[in-house]
Structure 1
Amino acid sequence: MHTPMKTFSERNPVTIGAIGVTIVAVIVTAALQYQKLPFLNQGKEYSAYFADAGGLFTGAGVEVSGYPVGKVSDIGLDGPRVLVTFKIAENITLGEQTEAAIRTKSLLGTKVLNVTPRGAGQLDGPIPMERTFSPYQLPDALGDLARTVSGINTNQLSDSLSTLAQTFADTPPHLKTAVEGVARFADTINKHDDQMRSLLGNAAKVTAVLAKRTDQVVRLVHDTNALLAQLRTQSEALDSIWFNISAVSEQLRGFIAENRDELKPALEKLNGVLTIVDNRKDRLQKAIKLLNSYAMSLGESVSSGPFFKAYVANLLPGQFVQPFIDAAFSDLGLDPNVLAPSELTDPQVGQPGTPALPSPFPRTGQGGAPALTLPDAITGKPGDPRYPYRQPLPAPPPGGPPPGPPAVAPPGIASTPDPDPSAVFVPAPGESPTVTAGQP
């Protein structure tokens, strides 16, 4: 007969609660002690004997060549010795002569177990004390010293030594001198008692500051290690650079040896150029200063707006441009050395001259239509027959429109005669002017 299955609400809640509590306890225990589970902890277990645990604790790190590879699993006494059991990764092999030492990792005395693999074969037993090293507890020694010194009654010590010196007053000279020296030493300690206490107090303050800054100090040490590793890497890069420079130097040496005859004239010319530069050093320095001023002015011009105007003198050599300019002005019948009336100035007051009246195009005696614009005369137009050169048109008859020759004057009309020059009398200072014949 099949028994019907009970629902969850029909079951005994006490039994269900006990089972739930048991499952939760098992899960919590497994989470806290997972390292002790055989199917999760796959490391190798070793042990070592030490004369002193030196502040090492269970769970401390195990390092090989400064790299963490495991943790200390147990610390116990084995007679007068301390047996330290530790586990490391399976890929770490420890030889028969392996050494172990307890090292200080931080300034506050945190200890780690440093294992140094040595020898061949496989380590199959505890590391003996002959190959282990216990740390020197400097903080404990300084603390004991501070407590001992602070507990000394300096006044009583000074009085005791003085009494001892008086008691041995009749002793031989050498012993008397030694005791007096001890008395002076005690007196010196008594005089500097406050300073000693201040020194120990300051040492305690320094220790407290280091305790507060331990994380920063440890981080600084780690950063220093990273810096040293980077410097080591850069050192290798510098070695490679020096090797390449040496190879290039050898190649240059061979190249110079093979081309010594060809390089000699070039070097002589280079020496000549350097000599010229050295002779004109002052001019070059002046040019560099002027270039600096020009660069500053150009920068100010460029930064003043979205546009700028710059002028570079002698950018195009004049001896190449001047023939084209002369030809263009000649085609227009103009002299480039003569200023236009609008460009003249009054030499007395420096004011611009009176604008020229409209005048007909100058009569140059050339045939054809006059050239009215200068750019057309300089560059020409596509298909313009002026460039290349062609023979000019014959001159028109006199009296025609410009640029033809002017009309010939009718005969019988004399030109205006030029006035004859005459002397001008200028009286000397203090001389009365006299009127001569022919003068008003």
Structure 2
Amino acid sequence: MPRTRSLAWAELKIGIVSVVALALAATLIFMLSGEGGFSWQRYSLKTVFDDIAGLNEGSPVRVAGVEAGSVTDLGFIGDRVEVTFELAERMRPRVTSGSIASLGSVSLLGESSVDITASAAGTPIPEWGYVPSGRAAGSLTDVTRQASEGIGALTALLQETRTGRGTVGRLFTDEGLYTEMNALVSAAESVVQNINRGRGALGRLINDPAAARSLEASLQNFETITARIRAGEGTLGRFLTDDAFARSLSSTGANLDAITGRISRGEGTAGKLVTDRELYDRLNSMSERLDKVMAGLEGGQGTAGQLLRDRQLYENMNGAVAELRQLVRDIRANPRKFLNVRVSLF
């Protein structure tokens, strides 16, 4: 009888130890499974997306990249999808009204997750509340969409090229354009060859040391000139650095402004010429009369006109002037010959 009791007690202890061990193992596995701990250590939130892109129940929920829960339910609200998920209670201060829920990617195989931005500045969202949804910058979905758009644009470009549209397409299909491009390349090659042979200004500059030294000397002279200008030497240097010269130039400009102002007001001869209509008409009339006189002279009218147009009269006048000059020279040489004064007394 005692042996039976001892065996029963041993079996009972083994059973109790096994149950406790299984309970501890289940508890440890449950706590290490990433589900956020026990049910009293989690709270539920919701968010709404237009398209969940492969999100399923059990998909991970991450806060600032840290896995903190999982999706528990999916349902429709009109045309949108409502996602219910559980989060660890410790995330409550970080998931606030300033947080944004978006769809993320766990891997390149298409498995999705709910990514929530942490924001301690807002108000904590109560249990069963809604987290504002949005689109995460640089998500795998955006990258895939942009890659698809890029491939589509590249395909369209290749199609245009094959059909001969655009510059590249014409280059591949238009023989005339190809010939022109070939000629352009040949001309460029010829220019490069001439430069290598030292022909032309650029070729001499590259191959002729004397030309290079001349250019270097010119650059040094230019540097010297700019240094003098910065030092205030010369007119331009004084203009840039000398305050007195600048004030003098400013005064000259002010005087010029005053002069133009007086002219605009009709003061002085120039001002009257600009503003006085009567003076303008008189000058215009004088100019017209002068034009008539010049026209008469060119037409040979009058003595002056005859002098300009009549060759014989010109030669006679020229001869008379020559004879007069000869007479003056003779008088200077022998004045007694031309001065014969007789004095008689009564």
Length-normalised TM-score, structure 2: 0.31
The structure carrying a bigger helix percent of its residues is 2
Q: TM-score by structure 1 length? A: 0.25
